[in-house]
């Protein structure tokens, strides 16, 4: 008696069950990574003098003067997360946050690259991975992207296309 077909069916059933959680996982990912950047951006704008001093002395952003880098960083940390929270232009928001995160990691590498900062570095890697997941998978069912795509996608002459949640 061959048990392989049963194992395959069980594995497929497990996959179906987990697939039903995809949109909730994407929503949780969007909210978690957004919160991290919104908190940082809010801190920057509410302590602007400190932010400018950090960009003058600590953060080494290439090609931008400190004032422009501070404005760009704060705006990126506030704008892109809002897109993710709403699930609006999610892939663009995720790629924007990936760039903000990569620049933060790069411009503060003289500290984050040292021994003893593995956990802080790991947070940036995690956020980068999460933003890439969102960029490649999209926002999921609970998003404005889904609502707008549903409204603008014409019905197929052969009937509606079944899309994964």
Strands, E, within 66-152: which ranges?
none
Report pLDDT digits (tens) over 58-103. Answer: 999 999 999 999 999 999 999 999 999 999 999 999 999 999 999 9
pLDDT at 3: 80
Reported as a pLDDT band with limits 50, 70 and 90, residue 163 is low
| pTM (global) more than 0.75 | yes
Name which residue leads in pLDDT, 6 or 165.
6
Concatenating the DSSP letter of every residue in 65-112 gives -HHHHHHHHHHHHHHHHHHHHHTSSHHHHHHHHHHHHHHHHHHTHHHH
Do 33 and 131 meet the contact criterion of CB atoms below 8 Å apart?
Answer: yes
């Amino acid at each position: 008696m061959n048990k392989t077909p049963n194992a395959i069916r069980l594995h497929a059933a497990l996959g179906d069950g987990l697939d039903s959680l995809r949109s909730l996982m994407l929503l949780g990912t969007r909210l978690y990574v957004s919160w991290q950047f919104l908190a940082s951006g809010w801190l920057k704008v509410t302590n602007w003098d400190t932010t400018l001093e950090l960009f003058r002395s600590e953060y080494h952003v290439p090609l931008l003067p400190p004032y422009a880098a501070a404005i760009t960083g704060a705006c990126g940390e506030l704008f892109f997360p809002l897109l993710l929270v709403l699930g609006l232009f999610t892939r663009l928001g995720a790629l924007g946050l990936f760039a903000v995160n990569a620049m933060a990691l790069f411009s503060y590498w003289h500290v984050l690259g040292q021994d003893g900062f593995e956990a802080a570095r790991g947070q940036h890697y995690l956020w980068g991975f999460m933003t890439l997941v969102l960029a490649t998978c999209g926002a999921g069912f609970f998003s404005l992207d889904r609502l707008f795509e549903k409204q603008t996608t014409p019905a197929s002459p052969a009937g509606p296309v079944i899309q994964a949640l």
